[in-house]
Amino acid sequence: MRKATGIIILLGVVLTSCVEKQAGSGNAYFSLKDYFNAQAAQLQQSSPLISKRVVVNGLSEEKRLKIADWKTELSTFIDADINKAAWSGAFRVQKTDTSERYTSSDPKIPVRKVEIMKKAGEVSRITIVSVNENYLYRSSDSLTYLPGSYYRIDKKQHIRLLNPKSYQVTGTFAE
């Protein structure tokens, strides 16, 4: 009986500490995931006309269109979120009234830099730099987002023994 009571108390302490940790846990850094999910929902609702230009290895194509799924369109930005549990404490943080900058030099973390510029407390520009690299593959991404103005994705890939590839996607809000 005494052993069972001890186990129940220990179990209660463990469960309580887990609950407190979850309730108190928030994002250590600016949440790109939350921000771009909110942007996607807003853009899905307003359905703006976009002038979209895609350049693949120097060949370009441009179209004016309405994006059917903004969450998919902004998924590269959402996927760059730096609030992963394993990355906690891995970023150097620099904040001012008009900017937030997160940098990491850890080669195991693909997101190397996130910079958020603000005007009057609102996000005016987000820049993200990511690098994925191993013995056979290197990929670098540069992402830029200006709310209500444009977004741009620059990607360069090099797979060993193959020709390098590059592409650029630029979406300019036409309305």
The residue type found at 16 is: T
| pTM for this entry | 0.81
Q: Is residue 112 within 8 Å of 141, Cβ to Cβ? A: no
- What's the one-letter identity of residue 63? K
pLDDT bin (cut points 50, 70, 90) of residue 1 is very low
Q: CA–CA separation, 89 vs 149, rounded Å?
A: 33
Closest to 100 (Cα-Cα) out of 122, 71, 75, 80: 122
The count of residues in the chain is: 175
pLDDT in tens, 32-68: 999 999 999 999 999 999 999 999 988 999 999 999 9
The 3-state DSSP class for residue 175 equals coil
Question: Is-contact 102 91, C-beta < 8 A?
Answer: yes
pLDDT of residue 49: 95
Distance between CA atoms of residues 104 and 90, nearest Å: 6
